[in-house]
Chains A and B, each alone.
Chain A
């Protein structure tokens, strides 16, 4: 039964190296490059405090005389500020490092919230079935019929008006995670439910029931591990979407405040200066955002092709 008895000398790493996923990964240059770029971005945001020459959250380090300096390679640029400065005289390179960190944290945490809610609801709906199932799925239908962005914009706009912008800015990160997390749970719930319905009929579930295992144990220890691959596939796409949603909301001024900018708020703060020719404040964070989302999407595409053999690549 177990792989260990047939190949006792193989370590876990070796098994991973020889698995289908690893094989297809090595054969796919797009996936390799995407993962490399993603890791590069993720690591540089992780070590942002070490890499950034300035602290973008510390107002005392800004000098208004340094404002709107172009990138170092342009005429008038200074070597201190590789990517130039924004309207407040903040070093753009440091701001981008910290901003990408904020965007990634929000994206990943929001998807964690989505997954937690969606997987729980999907498991229950699929396993219990009947009225519970139809009620939960109706709820998912209704939730999905309102676009996430719409719900998030309205919710954030109103909470900003209710709490006042100071309190709002303090908890912006937390509120964004919750809003994007709650608005997208049906994506997970639907996928999980569909796989649970298929898995529920299989013999191993019957066997577990015969052994008198409780429904909770069967759901979490038996069915969930077998439904994990579609969850992986949507997770990548969902992280990309969450990052875009966060950027859009921050762009509208409903997300991260300018004192703690995410990529979206950086782009937004630069938009006012684009007509005066200061293109870099908007464009450079914009490129970082697009590259980040693009590599996640490309990885998601590759993962879907590998884990879902039914879909062939044209």
Chain B
């Protein structure tokens, strides 16, 4: 038995002894170091580039847009972003030139000897002025507009006893993986190899082929190094960075390493979209929600990147896990002259979940009932339908999560006890909760468009190699895939190992995003193992001259009519050397009956949802207005926990990112500039800022997932912020509708 067992992590030993090789630990003979020269204005035209004649330019390699052999476009969704600005600058810190030298110091010295002369243009760096400011994109500055309608909104408001309205705001958030972005490009004859810290190796292949004017995918080899965190930040950005390193490598004909320092990483890479979300809700006096009108604005920044899909997920999650027959959601992703925003764990849902959960708390306040009670009355159950009209048929765990978290946290008693502390105590306590969901896998028919593949290969020594391009970025992919194969074959986990991610060798399993790795790619791996077992049994039946039905594979041994005939490893070795079945592969097939309309946003948005309830407790010091999140109880449903310790690690780590988002993580942006681009002033929680976690895994299995499993990666980042904000409300008696809730904001609210 391997499923549900905390087997040792495959990457555990090499990560605790310092041997795990990250990209900056790798070097090549003759390797150069690359740096980037960036724009210093939010919008303008390049008039001239001046090179200091006193500098020895023969000692460095310089690349500009004219050195690009193919297309100067970063391949993603829209074709709007250049690898290097040619004429037009659209945001601060946009790359213009690349420089490589034998040392990073020398390349940086050269960078100071170049001056970009620009003509500045008027810019838009404020989301609230994105519609009315200068034209930046298309006719209306909209990267994307989405409209989701359900039922009859005017009727819903007509039926309401109360109507409540409120506007919510969320800020920029930096992924702040501890390993900054980095790649090494190694040139070859008509080919290039990229070694990188990245989530989606095949994205890089697709981006580099047109850049370098290569025609065959094998000409771009992408190898994922051990990756020091991603959280979405290493989804699409590595396309750009790998392109830069590749251009320098092709021109210099030398390997080129580009590893950002922390400041450059914060200044230049994508972040979570800031949002403004307006809610108008109709409700009956018994708490029934009759109408939900939601208007969502995201700041996409200067280029489209993934904004339209981030907005899409945000919109689909905007009405949350609540029953309501009349819903109207309008979402817009705007072009501005801020640095582009992109993927960050949760992918639009943390913003819309924050707004909705705060609105549900407002509904409770309006009715004079506890926030828990509103959620109990409105939480979805099987048979209910979501905003897109998706009827929930199985694996719905709203009430289980809610009741488990409430009980484990002692929410009801504490809610009443802390209320009595008001208003005299210096240290005030508060407790708040949130209920939320997250769709597993790509939206709608997205998986069908990707058609992910995974394979298994038997090695000559009788081990099973797992071939996928799903990257382990800390979440434990390598380990859970091995567990799934071991379980399906009834063999020890130690016989299963990951082949590593090299695009020249492994199939394209689709990107490592969207809470899809365990559920979608995991099921491909599992079914490949089932295929291999069946093929081996058939082959053994031929060898033994018997019926396949007489053979079973139990405990690592093949049994013929109950008698042991071969160990798995021996037969696997034989299959490998004698031309027997030594490999298996699977390609995603869309389940029958999946209906999704991309135009109307109607139908089955996700194969299934994961569910969660968070309860946060805070203490606020009324002398300093400091906020401590003291305890955090999470009850989250993942279908089946393949590796419970790693699932709890996902829940706790994601929750702390959400707690930081709510209280201390603030990226200050002014006129398109990020002002706090250092870890000393762009803070994330330390061990002393983090609460004690009480984590409960709920398992409401999904018939379409491997062993019942659903996604867990993003779910925990959705619910933490509103739970913390609710607790701060409770402690202070004030309402906070904008995050982060900083001590300064609390001081202002308490001393108006």
Chain B associates with chain A = no
By a beta-carbon cutoff of 8 Å, the part of chain A in contact with chain B is none
